[in-house]
Amino acid sequence: MKIVVIGTGYVGLVSGACFADMGHEVICVDKNADKIDRLNKGEIPIYEPGLEEIVRRNTTSWNLSFTTDLAIALEKAECVLLAVGTPTDEKTGRADLQYVHAAAKEVAENLKDVAVIVTKSTVPVGTGKEVAKILQETRPDLHCEVASNPEFLREGSAIEDFMHPDRIIIGAESIESKNIMQRLYRKLIGEGVPVLFTNIATSELIKYSSNAFLAMKIAYANEISDICENVGADVSMVIQGMGMDNRIGGKYMQPGPGYGGSCFPKDTLALTYIAKDAGSTTQIVESVIKSNDERKLRMADKIIAACDGSVNGKKIAILGLTFKANTDDMRYSPSLSIIPKLLDAGAKIRAYDPVGMSEAQKILTQDGIKWCSDSEDAISSTDAIVILTEWDAFKTLDLQQVLADMSGNILIDLRNIIDTEQASEIGFKCVTLGK
């Protein structure tokens, strides 16, 4: 099938490359000419394990190409996927739909023939109808069907998630759009991946409800972790014990410095407005947002407390800046809340991340941060080390050497990846979560 993907970011690029790998002919379109240039030279603009190989394989076989020219891309399109961003509108807190609306209009203006227009971006309930209206108003001569197909991939494991999803959700309200979506996913359906067909509003809401539920599990685990610290319980055992109940499950219960990323923070907030607009309430989701926002700042207080109540003038190594491991994405990373608070308290930060350095430097522009070349450089002569992201490289640190390179001995592990018993024996003063 001939597919055009609009927006070549984390979702558009991964979806385009994977659909090409499934045998479709895919053209990825982006307005960002620099991104398209780089892709045409074989460079991958984001860090995503396995993506470079799949892009190379499919560009070589001519199944996958990249362009800024929407009109040419759409010439023979049977299915157009909208995968543009839906960030938080900072003024209203709602999902900002300007990119979806603009993309829908541009597609309508350039379409040569009827195609099914599929929203893959995460969009509030009612957006599918808005896209249909834009198409109808812009091109009354073409009757294009719309569909909703939310994406559930995670950054860092995007290819695996896309190729082996737990389920495919399709919001389609006509035979034509259902048929096209079935052809699009023929390979995965053939492999036994469950598909749920719904109306468009239901499909749109499944996406937000899923993200908010996962965010709620994490926020809950973080609150249980705090209780553990005050009552002498061990959070890893509490979660293990809870997770043994199949009704609960142990996934998304790992305590951390607060969830971040381009989706949980924005989608939980957007869901509260979807509810408000519908005359419903979302007390649970609102509490999750508050709990998570406060947690990120409280982690800075925890670091200060671990440094004997003050970080003023102290050198602190920050290991890990991205919101999770295996991505260079810095959007809503806990480091963006924690580092400024430590700087305000007078800390001198030595920061290092295995792949997120250049993204981090664009956002963390305050004075007082020394950007380090590796973890050894970051650790050198510091009073304390803080692990903010669970990169594998930090799990295998030579703790004896680390202690020798530091001036102090404070180790704050906000991902619980270090063997603190061993670290304490060596001479570290360890602070972890939920123990």
Interface residues with ligand UGA (CB under 6 A) are: 122, 151-155, 211, 214, 218, 252-254, 256, 259-264, 323-324
- Least distance in angstroms from the C-beta of 127 to ligand UGA: 15
Of 19 and 99, which has the nearer Cβ to ligand NAD? 99
For residue 241, the minimal CB distance to ligand UGA (Å) is 16
* Residue closer to ligand NAD (CB basis): 34 or 294: 34
Q: Which residue is nearest to ligand NAD (CB)?
A: 9
Residues binding ligand NAD (CB under 6 A): 6-12, 29-32, 35, 83-86, 99, 102-103, 106, 121-122, 151, 153, 155, 262-263
Q: Least CB distance from residue 405 to ligand NAD, whole Å? A: 36
Question: Is the Cβ of residue 254 or residue 432 nearer to ligand UGA in the bound state?
Answer: 254
Neighbouring residues of 351: CB distance < 8 A, sequence distance ≥ 6: 317, 318, 321, 335, 339, 357, 360, 364, 369, 370, 371, 372, 378
Three-state SS sequence of 166-225: CCEEEEECCHHHHHHHHHHCHHHHHCCCCEEEECHHHHHHHHHHHHHHHHHHHHHHHHHH
Q: How far apart are CA 295 and CA 257, in angstroms?
A: 7
Residue 153 near residue 161, CB atoms below 8 Å = yes
CA distance 158 to 44: 14
Cα–Cα distance, 95 to 159 (Å, whole number) = 26
d(CA 220, CA 156): 23
Q: Specify the residue, 150 or 408, whose C-beta has the smaller distance to ligand UGA.
A: 150
Task: Tell me the H-state helices in 22-152.
Answer: 33-40, 51-60, 70-73, 98-110, 127-138
Please report how close the Cβ of residue 141 comes to ligand NAD at its closest, in angstroms: 22
Could you tell me how far CA 343 lies from the centroid of its own chain? 26
Residue 263: active-site member: yes
Distance, in Å, from the CA atom of 331 to the CA atom of 20, rounded to the nearest integer, reads 28
Plot region of 144 (φ>0 → left; ψ -120 to 50 → alpha; else → beta): beta
Residue 259 binds which entry of ligand UGA, ligand NAD, none, with Cβ cut-offs from 5 to 8 Å by kind? Answer: ligand UGA
Q: How far is the CB of 207 from ligand NAD (least distance, A)?
A: 7
Instruction: Give the nearest distance from C-beta 388 to ligand UGA in angstroms.
Output: 10
- Quote the CA–CA distance of 258 and 296 in Å, as a whole number: 5
Q: Which does 35 bind (CB under 5 to 8 A by kind): ligand UGA, ligand NAD, none?
A: ligand NAD
Q: What is the DSSP letter of 261?
A: S
Supply the minimum distance, in Å, between the C-beta of residue 259 and ligand UGA: 3
Give the one entry of ligand NAD, ligand UGA, none that residue 410 binds, where binding means its C-beta sits below a cut-off of 5 to 8 angstroms depending on kind: none
The whole-angstrom separation of Cα 388 and Cα 384 is 13
DSSP 3-state assignment of 404?
helix
Q: Between vectors from CA 125 to CA 124 and to CA 127, what angle results, nearest 5°?
A: 75
Q: What is the CA radius of gyration of the chain?
A: 23
Hey, which residues does 66 pair with through a beta bridge?
28
From the list 263, 307, 372, 430, the catalytic residue is 263
> CB-wise, 81 or 153, nearer to ligand UGA?
153
Residue number with CB closer to ligand NAD (264 or 428): 264
Give whichever of 119 and 382 is closer to ligand NAD, judged by the CB atom.
119
Residues known to be catalytic: 263
